[in-house]
Amino acid sequence: MTYSTVPINPFYASRLRRASHVRPPEPDRPTYVRLPRAPITGSPVPHLTSLYHFDRAGEYGDRKWPGNCGGNLIKDLLTYFKPQGLVFDPMSGSGTCRDVCQELGLSCIAWDMHQGQDACNPNDFPAAETFDFIWVHPPYWRQKLYSEDPRDLSRSPTLEHFLRRYGQFIRNCKAALKPGGKFAILMGDYSDREAGYVPLVYHTKRLAFAAGLTQHCTDIIRFSHGNSSSKKIYRSSFIPGLHDVCMIFERD
């Protein structure tokens, strides 16, 4: 005897033909999504919203430097906040912030472990209340290793060690900010082989609030265009993170 489902329940039959819930692999090209409309404001940088989606890095710093972050977000923040005095980047890598400041005609001090300065050491830090604006893009713990130097934050052997030194670094920055100064930190969460998922954005806020800083405005979710991991193929199943977060704190 043969059975046909079609005359009995056509909806059932069409359910059988419904596409599987497993989506086919995404094509190897970007997907375009519609962003929410932003209100009109008095901002001098109207395209600077909580969603930072521009894919051009700009001609700043060196794109080949591991962890290079592109300069356009820094440029937009500096154009928005208009610091009157000194800008500081204590983990400057290839000098992206310094190059942006040069273009905008702002005075900037930029350092890095590679020049010997340890930003986690309060004795290495510039005097209190020196800067109007501090930009920093620290290591996401050991996601990328930047040097062999044990003082390098990316060489912290445990999460606890990293957070202790990162907290000291945030306190150093707070002390070096002028009252009313702004402190922008670009940070991302990270999944560590041993420690599991490490919510570094949460830890950054926790440590900044504990240092006595306040959050000045919305988080800026920066879409991670050009990430090397985006081109990889993984066997394991996980939800890929495609952004990092720029947090802007203020010293009251």
CA atoms within 13 A on the CB side of 69: 31
Phi-psi region of 138 (alpha: psi -120 to 50; beta: other; left: phi over 0): beta
- Binding flag, residue 137, ligand SAM (CB under 6 A): yes
Q: Is 172 in the site for ligand SAM (CB under 6 A)?
A: no
Rounded to whole angstroms, how far apart are CA atoms 70 and 54? 10
113 belongs to the binding site for ligand SAM (CB under 6 A) = yes
Nearest to 90 by CA among 75, 68, 112, 71: 112
CB of residue 65 vs ligand SAM: minimum separation in angstroms?
4
Instruction: Select from 13-21, 48-56, 107-115, 190-198 the region that touches ligand SAM (CB under 6 A).
Output: 107-115
Q: How many residues bind ligand SAM, per CB under 6 A?
A: 26
Q: Which is nearer to ligand SAM, 139 or 167 (CB)?
A: 139
CB of 13 or CB of 145, closer to ligand SAM: 145
| Cβ–Cβ < 8 Å for 162, 156 | yes
- Judged by beta carbon, residue 68 or residue 204, the one nearer ligand SAM is 68
**Which residues in 64-83 contact ligand SAM (CB under 6 A)?**
65, 67-69
Tokens 């912290």 correspond to what residue? Answer: 156
Tell me which H or E stretch contains 246.
Answer: strand 243-250
N-terminal to C-terminal alpha carbon distance within the chain: 82
Please give the residue ranges that form the binding site for ligand SAM (CB under 6 A): 61, 65, 67-69, 90-91, 93-94, 96, 112-114, 117-120, 137-139, 146-147, 151-154
